[in-house]
Structure 1
Amino acid sequence: MAPCSFFTLFFFFFFLFNLALSQQGSTFQSDRTVDCTDGWIHIRRLPTRFNLDLLGNCSEYPLFVNFCPYLANHGFGQKTHNHSYSWYRTDALMLELIFHRRMLEYPCLTEDPNFADAVYLPYYASLDALRYLHGPEVNSSTEHGLELFEFLQEDEPGIWKRRLGHDHFLVMARPAWDFSQPLENDPPIWGTSFLELPEFFNVTALTLESRAWPWQEHAIPYPTSFHPPNLALLDSWLERVRKSKRSTMTMFVGGGGNSATPNIRRSIRNECENSTGNSTTYGGGYVKLCEIVDCSNGICEHDPLKFMRPMLQASFCLQPPGDTPTRRSTFDAILAGCIPVFFEEQSAKTQYGWHLPENEFESFSVHIPKEEVVYKGMKILNVLRGIPGSRVRRMREKILGLIPRVMYRKHNSSYGLRAKKDAFDISIDGTLKRIQSRLEELALADR
């Protein structure tokens, strides 16, 4: 077992205990005070090699970050400081662990798969993918997922065959592109082929970023570092965001932009670094037109103090695409009440429809086509300076209403906070509706 196995051993025993409780199902069915009209969920029993055992490999991939410290607090990571109640050093890869822990307290669980409207597979796909991406099985990445499929066929096969997997769903804590390597690639280029396997074409996959065409994928928010345990702490943060003095007009938190090749990050860096003036020059009470928080080489990834305080002081936060269109920083910005500025629709508008309604994007964000900036000389700062202050205030108020929808609250949180649907709750609601819709389509096709 890995050297950092203290955390792992603790979670093994704790998770096994909670998994046993979750399989009792009848406890939840007998609670008539819970409204389960949206559907019941069955948690599929999987051998620990598909989830818990993978935590024991937390330091075994030298080409990848040692993720042992981020297992703490059921995947939230270690607290940012000893007296913190809501802030953690959360790694996005831990979303599968976070989601699994929340599923254990979902009120509409059933032990009987025949009674269930959906079946949750507690498979840590991204953690299992590490052996194909960075480990000894890098040349066998087209096999990722086959072992799981074989188990589903051999162990209680009726659960799968009842609807041929159409009622199954799982969480994959990476962009879908990391699981979309064509099966015919030999040798493999990057990623695994899990989402290209015909065996899983019917399964709903909740990913951090989805592709445009496969119906089975749907993006859900990246986990931020904010996980409040009660309503008072959420309200306290919302009040801080509302009252925060926005002395910087525009902010970019990230890296890149240093290459000679024209791209949106280079344009942002050049324009921001060339913005000059003094506090009497700008309208809106701004002291700075643009500021960069350099997060190159992942130095900000697990330290929210480096970027949350600056974001609280900015009106607009730029969200240029990087290796893929989406960014965790989008949700950090929303959390700070900083209006996100997108440069392509795939960065959020076509991704997170359950959590950020597509028809309302103009009410809380700004879109500036990257081609206009990179190749036609459009100035980002001029566009943002032209937005009336009244509209900026309305957009920020809209963002305040989105904060509960994009955060993952702490497990076992207070009743008052549970009454507000967070990113997990909205993901489950969307999944149940999607599965129901798909099953209805299949029923009509069979008539």
Structure 2
Amino acid sequence: MPGKAILTLIFFLFLLISFFLFFGTVDFRSYSFPLYPSPYGQPSSCHIGPPPLRVFMYDLPRRFNVGMLDRRSSGDTPVNAHNLPSWPTNSGLRKQHSVEYWMMASLLYEGVDDQGTREAVRVLDPDSADAFFVPFFSSTSFNTHGHNMTDPDTEIDRQLQIDLLEFLRKSKYWQRSGGRDHVIPMHHPNAFRFLRNQVNASILIVADFGRYPKNMSNLSKDVVAPYVHVVDSFKDDDTQDPFESRTTLLFFQGRTIRKDEGIVRAKLAKILVGYNDVHYQSSFASGENIKAASEGMRSSKFCLHPAGDTPSSCRLFDAIVSHCVPVIVSDRIELPYEDELDYTEFSIFFSYQEALEPGYMVQQLRQVPKERWFKMWMRLKNISHHYEFQYPPKREDAVDMLWRQVRHKLPGAKLTEHRIKRLKIPDWWGQRRR
């Protein structure tokens, strides 16, 4: 009897193994022989991760996007990888709000990433899409069409927003979700300023939450995007002793007269005067000044980032790609990718009160041990590629990281979409008494 039981057990095990091998649902070699190549073309020890986010991009007339970069490329011919114009080299500070361009370009790219699968790929069938990208260059529109808000050309910016909303409202996919699975870049604080409250349910790509009302933008649904840095990246930062070679303790160069929280800059100018190892200079953006700022950051241990018109600015990301440890003065700044990156590993933070106490900030920075600074410098070198906007796109560059952030927001958008269909009292949870 025991012999028959053993033979029966072996027979059933044989059938079970044959079933899995035939249907291909289990790769036993990956369990028994971890170093043996998997039949699926990947080593079993590698974590492949989720498939790319499937993004449908609307085909908008070029006047909504690249037509603003090159008036000769206007018209209604859809943009593709072959006729995509390069970002203008003479765009100056407009480049810092060009996130919209690089996100669009990443979806148009038809090549293969040799570093692994990208976070998002374009699909041409909207029914198969996880998210929808709206390629309206709202920041470029503001900068191009009457950016001083009083120019007659401002009406062009307004009309583009009106036309875009009319287009989206006709889309059954916009109607289906109320726009909640639609991604709209609004990087400049004045982008989409006329009708932004009509797209507040969408996943917005913003630079700073400080300029948006709470009922329009929040961290639960929107993505904080870095500014596009305007200084050149420090590619050959291989000094034997970087701490000693960076002779300036603290560096700042930029406008010192700003509004709102930016008034701290003028106050800091008075507090930081008289230190031989502190460079605090007022200047306007120009090719020459940007070059000087780049050289200054590369020769400084710490780079000061006080608020401007908004809590964040391009200066922070210039410092990161210059491997200059950011000193962030803010009480309410929000930072990109913070669910993945710990900024305290490569930045130092001061409140307004601490920064404006005479002598306090400089004293604290001088007491930072060389070993701690070196670790922060090394961390900057390791993560600075997350702040590179480039074409062709690369794995885990700035745009790839942004698409990953969009992926993180989609479950919440889907939850809201489903709940709103059946709720009799809209948003009862937010209106409940405490």
Query: Normalising to structure 2: TM-score of the pair?
Result: 0.69
For residue 367 of structure 1, give the secondary structure of its aligned residue in structure 2. strand
Which deviations, in whole Å up to 9, do the C-alpha atoms of 1:236-271 show, x marking residues without a partner? Answer: 535369857211111112121699x99432343234
Specify which of 85, 110, 125 is matched with residue 123 of structure 2.
Answer: 110
Counterpart CA distance in 2 for 1:226 and 1:267 is 26
| 1:436–1:132 CA distance, 2 compared to 1 (3 A) | farther
Specify which of 171, 175, 179 is matched with residue 165 of structure 1.
Answer: 179
Matched-pair contact (CA < 8 Å) for 2:228–2:314: yes
Specify which of 348, 352, 355 is matched with residue 336 of structure 2.
Answer: 352
**Structure 1 residue 411 and structure 2 residue 412: aligned?**
no
1:352 Cα offset (Å) = 1.8
Identify the range of structure 1 (32-41 vs 422-431) with the bigger mean alpha-carbon deviation: 32-41
For residue 114 of structure 1, give the secondary structure of its aligned residue in structure 2. helix
1:437 Cα offset (Å) = 2.7
1:110 Cα offset (Å) = 0.9
Counterpart CA distance in 2 for 1:445 and 1:262 is 40
Which deviations, in whole Å up to 9, do the C-alpha atoms of 1:190-228 show, x marking residues without a partner? Answer: xx233222xx12211112222473234422011114688
**Structure 1 residue 337 and structure 2 residue 323: aligned?**
yes
Which deviations, in whole Å up to 9, do the C-alpha atoms of 1:25-52 show, x marking residues without a partner? Answer: xxxxxxx999762421111111222123
Counterpart CA distance in 2 for 1:126 and 1:378 is 39
Q: Which amino acid aligns with 1:118?
A: A
Matched-pair contact (CA < 8 Å) for 1:78–1:90: no
Counterpart CA distance in 2 for 1:315 and 1:220 is 25
Aligned position for 1:25:
none
Aligned position for 2:102:
98
Aligned position for 1:312:
298
Highest Rg: 1 or 2? 2
For residue 185 of structure 2, give the secondary structure of its aligned residue in structure 1. strand
**Structure 1 residue 37 and structure 2 residue 51: aligned?**
yes
Counterpart CA distance in 2 for 1:158 and 1:315 is 53
1:153 Cα offset (Å) = 2.6
**Structure 1 residue 119 and structure 2 residue 132: aligned?**
yes
Query: Within 5 Å, which residues of 2 pair with 1:56-75?
Result: 56=70, 74-75=86-87
Tell me how large the CA RMSD over aligned residues is.
3.6
Counterpart CA distance in 2 for 1:428 and 1:112 is 19
Aligned position for 2:238:
239
Matched-pair contact (CA < 8 Å) for 2:232–2:294: no
Counterpart CA distance in 2 for 1:75 and 1:141 is 20
Aligned length: 346
For residue 362 of structure 2, give the secondary structure of its aligned residue in structure 1. helix
Unaligned runs of 5+ in 1: 1-31, 59-71, 80-87, 181-191, 229-233, 277-288
Unaligned runs of 5+ in 2: 1-40, 43-47, 73-83, 110-117, 423-434
Identify the range of structure 1 (237-246 vs 311-320) with the bigger mean alpha-carbon deviation: 237-246
Q: Which amino acid aligns with 1:443?
A: H
Counterpart CA distance in 1 for 2:156 and 2:94 is 30
| 1:44–1:36 CA distance, 2 compared to 1 (3 A) | farther
Query: Within 5 Å, which residues of 2 pair with 1:266-281?
Result: 266-276=266-276
**Structure 1 residue 218 and structure 2 residue 198: aligned?**
no
Which deviations, in whole Å up to 9, do the C-alpha atoms of 1:132-185 show, x marking residues without a partner? Answer: 54431547977662210101233xx2232232211110222312xx248xxxxx
Matched-pair contact (CA < 8 Å) for 2:131–2:183: yes
Matched-pair identity in %: 18
| 1:392–1:172 CA distance, 2 compared to 1 (3 A) | same
1:101 Cα offset (Å) = 1.7
Counterpart CA distance in 2 for 1:153 and 1:363 is 44
Query: Within 5 Å, which residues of 2 pair with 1:41-60?
Result: 41-56=55-70
Query: Within 5 Å, which residues of 2 pair with 1:357-376?
Result: 357=341, 360-374=342-356, 376=357
**Structure 1 residue 402 and structure 2 residue 383: aligned?**
yes
For residue 128 of structure 2, give the secondary structure of its aligned residue in structure 1. coil
| 1:314–1:217 CA distance, 2 compared to 1 (3 A) | same
| 1:256–1:262 CA distance, 2 compared to 1 (3 A) | closer
**Structure 1 residue 292 and structure 2 residue 291: aligned?**
no
Q: Which amino acid aligns with 1:44?
A: Y
Counterpart CA distance in 2 for 1:354 and 1:387 is 24
